Chains A and B, each alone.
Chain A
Amino acid sequence: MIWINALLQGILLGGLYALFAAGLSLIFGVMRLVNIAHGDLIVLAAYLGLSTTIVLGLHPLLAMIIVIPLMALLGYILQRGILNQTLGDDLLPPLLVTFGLSVIIQNALLEGYSADPQKMNVGALETASLSLGSLSLGVLPLLTFAIAVAVIGSLHWMFYHTALGRAFRAVSDNQDIAQLMGLNKRHVFGIAMALSLAITGIAGILLGVRTNFDPSIGGARLIFGFEAVIIGGLGNLWGTLAGGVILGVAQTIGAQINPGWQLLAGHLAFLIVLAVRPRGLFPRMTG
């Protein structure tokens, strides 16, 4: 029974990892940009959520109403102001610039909030759980998983059924020809980053109500996000959810065997998938 429990917890944890990954996957797909600061932006969102709950007295989940648009705005400004200038044939400049951004965010958070671990309190929701026979599932992890499925589903739908999704795919296929259609790629990239950071806003708050966070934990979130994307296969959003779940399950099963093995088991699962299927489990069919 403890194994089934670990499995279920892992699946639910995978939802959070998929949320870490979705924003990364989106911008890599649209503009081939690897955002090294992604994990720190998740942590930044958690702190923005913390400040919102303190200043406005809002419930952390309601704080999303403030944090999501703030992060989206930050994404658009960041893309138009800095990141667009780094994009080109060379992959190195965006890597270096987002690495620099990562350092800046960490230091700014240290300066503003200190290194003390923080957590957002969701009151009764914290301990609420549903019992299924002898299993018990936390309401919060269930909610997180449901949100992850909803976010991935909406993104997928947006990608394949809206004008914006069409623009994303067109720009990803061929930037010059997309410009000929009247699409300003700089604006399209700005929108993509806004969307990516909006998801980061959701992920950051869900992270902050689930565990303690401090300014230094962004790097590990970035790695989890990367691993979920790669396991699932680049360019496939549902694959990213599957990747998150596999990573989550590997971690909880690993922890069940030996509490120290949680992270190791996750990385091992990632390496095994990479060795067997270098392009991930569900790579996109075309291209």
Chain B
Amino acid sequence: MPEPLLSTSQLCAWYGDFQALFDLDLMINEGEIVAIIGANGAGKTTLMHSIAGLSINKPHQVIYRGRQIGALRADQVAFEGIALVPEGRQLFASLTVEENLVIGAQTGRKGDWQLPTVYQLFPILQERRTTPATELSGGQQQMVAIGRALMANPDLILLDEISLGLAPVIIKTIYAALPGIVEGGMSAMIVEQDISKALAVSSRFYCLQEGRVALEGQSQTVQRDAISRAYFGVQK
């Protein structure tokens, strides 16, 4: 079996005295889409932040391409080729749409994703390129957030609730763009509240519950009632 692209081992996370993640072991292979599901407060965002370096761990708790990156800062992780599309989009308000995209390429990593390709993926952004980013509609802002992460030409993209608060038709547009994004070999970890959506686009999933992996498996074959139990913590 080939070595995974990224794995965590016994990953823990704390907010002060409150422990949000408990000994998480999970992994993602090259070119794979993995879904992370779980109820509100399960620890999905915390997991993404730990991988991206926004919270610092012990070095061996996150392994990427065989290297221990658990203790790297977020800017160092970015240079390694991991990009996060943060929950709630978090665009830079003082930057235009185009500047938000360009700053995504700050690491200088080479690849197919550049301004023209991002504009091809989301043409509306080209029309609005000189607008301050936070003046766009929610859906368009989400496109900027995704485009900004793509501009880094990452090998692994972390997508945290990209459909949060968006109209169904916009969600459809954004998810329609996903195959084009991963066809180049990029791996993706997707956090999503909408379970069927998450399972439909992924090959494997992890279901978190109160900071622990309650269930993991193949997205296409998993039984719905198994997920409900893991999701809501209903005892058998």
Chain A residues within CB distance 8 Å of chain B: 163, 166-167, 169-170, 172-174, 176-185, 286-287
Contact = CB atoms under 8 A, between A and B. Distances in A.
Dominant SS at the A interface? Answer: helix
Given A166-B99, A176-B74, A183 B92 contact: no
Given A166-B102, A167-B103, A181 B78 contact: yes
Interface in B99-129: 99, 102-104, 106-107
B54 A174 contact: no
B92 A180 contact: no
Interface stretch (B1-9, B38-46, B82-90, B200-208): B82-90
B93 A181 contact: no
A163 B84 CA distance: 21
A183 B108 CA distance: 11
A183 B73 contact: no
A184 B78 CA distance: 10
A177 B90 contact: yes
A110 B70 CA distance: 49
Contact of A182 (B94, B99, B106): B106
B103 A166 contact: yes
Contact of A183 (B53, B84, B90, B106): B106
Given A166-B99, A180-B74, A286-B132, 7 more contacts: A166-B95, A174-B92, A179-B54, A179-B74, A180-B75, A180-B86, A182-B106
- Residue in A172, A180, A286, A287 with the greatest tally of chain B CB atoms within 10 Å: A180
A182 B78 contact: yes
Nearest to B53: A179
- Residue in B52, B93, B95, B152 with the greatest tally of chain A CB atoms within 10 Å: B93
A184 B95 contact: no
A60 B41 CA distance: 63
- Residue in B52, B84, B99 with the greatest tally of chain A CB atoms within 10 Å: B99
B48 to A, nearest CB: 11
A180 B84 contact: yes
Interface in B120-156: 132, 148, 152
Contacts of B104: 181
Interface string B144-186: 0000100010000000000000000000000000000000000
A179 B73 contact: yes
Contacts of B107: 181-182
Interface residues of B, number: 25
A185 B99 CA distance: 18
Contacts of A167: 103, 106
The 10 closest A-B pairs by CB, nearest first: A179-B74, A182-B78, A182-B107, A169-B94, A173-B92, A182-B106, A181-B106, A184-B75, A179-B75, A170-B92
B79 interface: yes
A173 B84 contact: no
Contact of A170 (B54, B83, B103): B103
A169 B74 contact: no
Contacts of B79: 182
A177 B48 CA distance: 13
A287 to B, nearest CB: 6
- Residue in A176, A177, A183, A184 with the greatest tally of chain B CB atoms within 10 Å: A177
B78 A286 contact: no
Contact of B93 (A184, A185, A286): A286
